[in-house]
A and B are shown apart, each in its own frame.
Chain A
Amino acid sequence: DARVTQTPRDKVTEMGQEVTMRCQPILGHNTVFWYRQTMMQGLELLAYFRNRAPLDDSGMPKDRFSAEMPDATLATLKIQPSEPRDSAVYFCASGSSMDPYGYTFGSGTRLTVV
């Protein structure tokens, strides 16, 4: 089965440190999403890309968060500097404009900032 791969699975870091989360979308999928899940806010869209170009990053705190797709097989979400309120599960999902029904989610990165 094709899958979206996210690394790391878990990350504990100290406040102020840089955190980088990585996502390998399904081969052939041209749209990649970053979602954040917290108990308080639920699932929020942070950013998404189509054909590696950012389409919408309005959900992302611009001062500390950045999202990129250096190539079609890798998407990154970086937080610098990290804060305790960034503690959440970060999901990457990918989809294809050829198959608009299916969005496949990765297993998520559980981030804890202490």
Chain B
Amino acid sequence: AQKITQTQPGMFVQEKEAVTLDCTYDTSDPSYGLFWYKQPSSGEMIFLIYQGSYDQQNATEGRYSLNFQKARKSANLVISASQLGDSAMYFCAMREDFTGTASKLTFGTGTRLQVTL
């Protein structure tokens, strides 16, 4: 079974609008972390935001926020005030067995976001 599911292969959004990229996950581990990465056309993987399973509040980083709904096992990324530079591939990832040590990430298939004028 897929551990991380991103159901939107591609999304379009107009500049200055907000957009939500969906991510659902599957784990039986009570302790886990959820990540979003951005991959522009240049290819590098850029860390955007992190949410821990025990965090009480949704994570925010500038224009990025993570809509974490634990009961639904979803961790959607919200980008506010989209900019042309936000056009990229976005990956959701999960780390299980969050024991405070760096353990492996499992990635979703990604969503390609295109910001239009």
Contacts and interface: CB of A to CB of B under 8 A. Distances in A.
Query: Which are the 5 A-B pairs with shortest beta-carbon distances?
Result: A95-B102, A105-B45, A31-B102, A43-B107, A97-B101
A87 interface: no
A108 B43 contact: yes
B100 interface: yes
B116 interface: no
Contacts of A107: 43-44
Interface string B82-117: 000000000100010010111111111110000000
B105 A108 contact: no
Contacts of A33: 104-105
B68 interface: no
A95 B93 CA distance: 15
Residue with the greatest number of chain B CB neighbours at <10 A, chosen from A100, A102, A104, A108: A100
A5 interface: no
Interface residues of A, number: 26
Interface of B: 33, 35, 37, 43-47, 50, 91, 95, 98, 100-110
Contact of A42 (B37, B45, B100, B107): B107
B91 A45 contact: no
A105 B44 CA distance: 7
* Chain B binding surface SS class: loop
A102 B35 CA distance: 9
A89 B43 contact: yes
A18 interface: no
A74 B43 CA distance: 22
A50 B43 CA distance: 26
Nearest to B105: A103
B43 A100 contact: no
Given A31-B102, A43-B91, A103 B47 contact: yes
Given A43-B91, A105-B44, A107-B43, A100 B106 contact: no
A112 interface: no
A103 B102 contact: yes
Given A102-B47, A105-B46, 8 more contacts: A31-B102, A31-B103, A42-B110, A45-B106, A89-B43, A96-B102, A100-B95, A108-B43
